[in-house]
Structure 1
Amino acid sequence: MSNRAMFSSDRYVTRGVNELVPFELQLLLWSILEKRQEQGDQLDYLEVFELSAEFVDGEPLQKILNRQEQPYHQEVIYVNHIENLAIGVTIWVIDSGEYSTMLLPQEY
């Protein structure tokens, strides 16, 4: 296997993710992984995103919990101005070594 950065090869998104998660939010999830890598974080081949909403001063914010097992990492990101919130959705992003796929756990 080459020394390429994880999640930097061809990227695919399943039909289930396309149906449940707005495109702008899909792009944001990819960018979270890119930024973590730029910061020197070691990414796991399986990144998990749990999407929900939280209300602050009556305004809904998209809540994104990003976690991984090896090495352990967990962080919460809040995003304002997302047109259609994704609520109660878990997304897996898997790096196979040849390509990366964003999918719902039930599509695995």
Structure 2
Amino acid sequence: MGTRSMFSSDKYVTRGVNEVVSFELQLHLWRILEQRQERGDQLDYLQVFELSAEWMDKEPVQKALNRQELPYHQEVFYFDNIENLAIGVTVWVIDSGEYATMLLPEEY
């Protein structure tokens, strides 16, 4: 039996995330984890995304700070052309071994 990559199995999103994070932005967050995996990063089972906005060229852009504890990692990603910016939102993505869930900390 082969080893499974973290965050590569079935993916679930809670109602709370669906209410405050656009589907488009959810896809971007999943893609960040895929890209980090592809470049060889060791991912912790708990990924934290702190969502905010910054102004660039007089336009608001979505900012996503991705961090983890073990091994320590922190990286910022920017997305433009996001319809509904998520500002002041923290999202957790937890890999249980069988599936991955995107949720708000208060839903844990």
TM-score normalised by length of structure 2: 0.97
CA–CA distance in 2 between the matches of 1:19 and 1:79? Answer: 19
Cα deviation code 1:57-103 (max 9, x no counterpart)? 22101000000000000001111111110000000000000110000
Q: Give ranges in structure 1 of 5+ residues lacking alignment.
A: none
Distance, in Å, in 1 between the alignment partners of 2:2 and 2:96 is 13
- Give the TM-score normalised by structure 1: 0.97
Residues 1-108 of structure 1 aligned to structure 2 (within 5 Å):
3-108=3-108
Count of residue pairs brought into register by the alignment: 108
SS state at 1:5 partner: coil
RMSD of Structure 2 on Structure 1 (CA): 1.2
SS at 1:66 equivalent: strand
Q: Aligned residues: percent identity?
A: 78
Detail structure 1 runs of 4+ shifted over 2 Å in the superposition: none
Q: What do the CA deviations read for 1:16-52 (whole angstroms, capped 9, x no partner)?
A: 0000000000000000000000000000000000000
Query: Cα gap change, 1:83/1:10 in structure 2, threshold over 3 Å: closer, same or farther?
Result: same
